[in-house]
């Protein structure tokens, strides 16, 4: 049964009527009675009661219209009896504990905090700039040129240049090649002239060579800041290019049109024309200026072939004769070897058997040429990888990583080559790298390299000591220090020094 009371109060209508009559009667009595305790009439009390009821009804109506009476549920009263409204997010107010987790509190990372972790820093995505084909081409040039200075392999350098593509960019190769050699020894300068002459028309067009030298002339003012004799060296390169027929003589006059009046490039052209190309026998002088040309004439080749064949007839060492033929590096001229050998065999019947043996041995080597080419390519790639690993090691000082990389290569037969590269590179660096090389060698001897590998590596170093001394003046002293350090570190036994000395040729500078 529904309650008869209305929504706004606690009394029914009947009770209200009774209460009204009672109040009227009480009021009538109070008028005649002087003992009213409060001095307030009953009618006034009734009005206060009605006013309170109206406030209660208004609050209830507001609660129903504002969304479910949340305010009434969360209302609380303080000790003073006043209603206190909580914060909407539940964190409380003054005198409360606040929320269990204060998610809105501002936090920051203090880099001076001992517990600071850089991984907690917010990530910021940075857009990497896209590289152009020219930028990629220029980055590859340094590696190719450094590799050429290390190996002197003209054929491989030409192949690497072709693999890059972008024939229209080859002028940058000419500029980079010459500018890198200008600050090096005469050996590298000569190598550059030989390379340009060899690649002319077969990898490098005449137009690209001209443009490359024009760029060098325009940049000589900047080059002179770091290379004091840049003007004279560049004049030599241009004069040598004219002698080698890779630049026309008219280039000296035409190039002036691309230079300003204050450019040192004009001085370069003047020196090349008047000091080098106008001198008597200038061609021969220029070819010998940097220690002699690697080019040999046909007559010189024929003379060397005749000499080695006569030497072979005297000692009968077929292997040595084949090695000398290979060192001539003139495969296109091997028909002359056959011709000279047959002629000598006909002139000296006693040498006929030896000549036949030599031709047979040389023929078999030619049949195995493809296998040898594969071996040479494998060794070339290993050397390139070894140089990269050594440079990385000097930067990171990470011995375990280098050993792991060597194991992954899986070419233990080239361990002596790695030792030679390591010490050769370290000799031309500061004491820090020399110490790092000795420490690495000690670790390799314990974990990866055999004593035989290390002995062979030092033999290769000592055999090439004369060539190394051309680039590193104190190479002999440095090699001696590395040998002594290897003995102290138990990498080499003292008896190994005697073994190495007995293997080296008597006239070898390494001995």
d(CA 354, CA 341): 10
Domain 298-367 sits in CATH at 1.25.40.180
Record: fold of 133-288: 1.25.40
Mean local confidence (pLDDT), 350-360: 84
φ, ψ of residue 83 to 5 degrees: the values are -75, 135
Mean local confidence (pLDDT), 392-417: 87
d(CA 329, CA 344): 22
φ, ψ of residue 424 to 5 degrees: the values are -60, -45
Q: Are 179 and 223 in contact (CB under 8 A)?
A: yes
3-state secondary structure of 209: helix
Pick the range with the lowest mean pLDDT from 3-17, 147-161, 324-338.
Answer: 3-17
Closest CA to 238 of 265, 202, 204, 205: 265
Closest CA to 96 of 104, 88, 105, 86: 86
Instruction: Give per-residue pLDDT as tens, 251-302.
Output: 888 888 888 888 888 888 888 888 877 776 676 677 666 765 444 555 677 7
The answer to whether domain 298-367 and domain 371-503 are alike in fold is: yes
Closest CA to 98 of 89, 106, 107: 89
d(CA 335, CA 327): 16
- Give the residue ranges of DSSP H helices in 348-411: 352-367, 369-396, 399-409
**Per-residue pLDDT, 154:** 83
d(CA 460, CA 423): 11
3-state secondary structure of 112: coil
Q: Are 143 and 130 in contact (CB under 8 A)?
A: no
Q: Which overall architecture, per CATH, does domain 371-503 show? A: Alpha Horseshoe (1.25)
Radius of gyration of the chain (CA): 48
Q: Token pair 């009618």 is at which residue?
A: 43
Instruction: Give per-residue pLDDT as tens, 89-132.
Output: 555 554 444 454 444 445 566 777 777 676 666 656 565 566 67
What length is written for the chain? Answer: 511
Give the chain's end-to-end CA distance (angstroms, integer). 124
Q: Where are the domains of the chain?
A: 133-288, 298-367, 371-503
């Amino acid at each position: 049964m529904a309650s008869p009371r209305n929504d706004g109060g606690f009394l029914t209508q009947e009770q209200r009527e009774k209460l009204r009559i009672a109040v009227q009667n009480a009021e009538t009595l109070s008028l005649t009675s002087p003992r009213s305790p409060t001095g307030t009439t009953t009618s006034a009390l009734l009005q206060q009661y009605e006013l309170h009821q109206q406030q209660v009804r208004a609050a209830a109506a507001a609660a129903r219209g504002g969304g479910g009476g949340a305010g009434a549920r969360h209302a609380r009263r303080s000790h003073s009896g006043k209603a206190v409204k909580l914060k909407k997010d539940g964190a409380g107010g003054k005198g409360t504990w606040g929320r269990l987790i204060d998610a809105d509190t501002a936090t920051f990372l203090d880099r001076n905090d001992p517990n600071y972790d850089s991984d907690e820093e917010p990530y910021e995505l940075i857009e990497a700039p896209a590289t152009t084909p020219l930028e990629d081409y220029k980055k590859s040039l340094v590696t190719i040129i450094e590799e050429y200075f290390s190996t002197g392999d003209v054929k491989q350098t030409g192949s690497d240049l072709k693999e890059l593509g972008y024939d229209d960019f080859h002028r940058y190769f000419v500029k980079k090649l010459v500018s890198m050699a200008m600050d090096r020894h005469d050996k590298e300068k000569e190598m550059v002239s030989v390379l340009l002459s060899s690649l002319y028309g077969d990898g490098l067009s005449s137009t690209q060579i001209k443009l490359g030298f024009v760029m060098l002339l325009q940049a000589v003012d900047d080059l002179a800041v770091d290379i004091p004799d840049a003007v004279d060296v560049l004049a030599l390169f241009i004069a040598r290019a004219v002698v080698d027929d890779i630049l026309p003589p008219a280039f000296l006059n035409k190039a002036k049109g691309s230079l300003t009046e204050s450019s040192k490039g004009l001085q370069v052209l003047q020196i090349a024309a008047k000091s080098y190309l106008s001198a008597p026998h200038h061609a021969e002088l220029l070819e010998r200026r940097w220690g002699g040309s690697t080019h040999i004439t046909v007559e010189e080749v024929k003379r060397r072939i005749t000499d080695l064949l006569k030497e072979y007839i005297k000692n009968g060492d077929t292997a040595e004769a084949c090695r000398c033929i290979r060192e001539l590096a003139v495969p296109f001229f091997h028909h002359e070897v056959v011709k000279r050998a047959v002629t000598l065999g006909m002139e000296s019947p006693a040498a006929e058997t030896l000549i036949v043996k030599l031709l047979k041995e040389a023929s078999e080597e030619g049949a195995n040429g493809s296998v040898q080419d594969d071996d040479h390519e494998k060794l070339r790639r290993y050397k390139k990888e070894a140089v990269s690993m050594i440079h990385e090691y000097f930067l990171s000082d990470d011995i375990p990583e280098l050993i792991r990389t060597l194991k992954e290569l899986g070419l233990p037969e080239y361990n002596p080559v790695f030792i030679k590269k390591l010490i050769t590179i370290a000799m031309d660096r500061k004491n820090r790298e020399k110490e790092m090389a000795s420490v690495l060698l000690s670790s390799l001897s314990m974990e990866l390299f055999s004593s035989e590998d290390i002995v062979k590596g030092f033999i290769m170093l000592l055999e090439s000591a004369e060539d190394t001394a051309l680039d590193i003046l104190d190479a002999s002293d440095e090699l001696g220090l590395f040998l002594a350090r290897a003995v102290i570190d138990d990498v080499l036994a003292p008896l190994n020094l005697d073994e190495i000395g007995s293997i080296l040729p008597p006239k070898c500078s390494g001995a």
